[in-house]
Amino acid sequence: MYKVFVNEKKLLISKHAEELEKKLVYENYTTLEMALDLLENTSVQELNIFGENIDEIWSEFQKLFRIIEAAGGLVNNPQGETLFIKRLGKWDLPKGKMEKGESREESAVREIEEETGLKEVELVKFINTTYHIYIERNGEKILKCTHWFEMNFDGEDTSKPQIEEGITEVAWKNISQIENEVFPSTFKNIELIVKEFWDSKK
């Protein structure tokens, strides 16, 4: 199953029909184009494309975009707090585009250290990949795949925002602050990966 966000609307690609607002059975790539058109140009908030061969559907879907890979992390301290950044007025997790020749792990650690000013972040394990679609100024459609890792930090807190990247704040948040401050002012993908991380700890 793949969850992709299109302007904060949910597109779910699955093997079997899911109970979403709109459902389309996969026939060929025109089904995918129709789905994107509905999400981009109508009031439909969530849409499910389903079909037996999910790998084929996903492969065809990816062909509609230029793919950009990014990596980032949920950095946790011994107090049980998670590190967030604020960019363009929204809370986000530190992440960024992978550079040529980098592994996902190397990229995640580098981006966190660059965006938050922390040093010697410990990478624990891979959590999951999130997907979202956006359109460049030149009209090119991008599918951004962000690979997320669980990380720990137990050193001197040298955190400071990377102002040149538009980051205005770096802050540790506990579960209550995440639910009351971060979730109302973040992206669906971020809420999704944080909740998935919490579920994995239960």
Dihedral of alpha carbons 162, 73, 49, 26, sign: positive
Point out the residues of the chain with pLDDT beneath 50: none
What is the structure's pLDDT at 6?
94
Angstrom distance (rounded) from CA 153 to CA 74: 10
> HSE on the CB side for 116, CA within 13 Å?
32
What does the angle CA 176 – CA 179 – CA 18 come to, to the nearest 5 degrees?
140
What is the structure's pLDDT at 201?
84
The token pair that represents 5 in the structure block: 């966000």
What is the structure's pLDDT at 202?
81
What is the structure's pLDDT at 101?
94
Check: CB of residue 65 under 8 Å from CB of residue 139. no
String of DSSP letters for the chain: -EEEEETTEEEEEESS---SSEEEE--SHHHHHHHHHHHHHSS--EEEEE-S-HHHHHHHHHTTSEEEEEEEEEEE-TTS-EEEEEETTEEE--EEEPPTT--HHHHHHHHHHHHH---SPEEEEEEEEEEEEEE-TTS-EEEEEEEEEEEE--S-------GGGTEEEEEEE-HHHIIIIIGGGS-HHHHHHHHHHHHHH-
> HSE on the CB side for 168, CA within 13 Å?
6
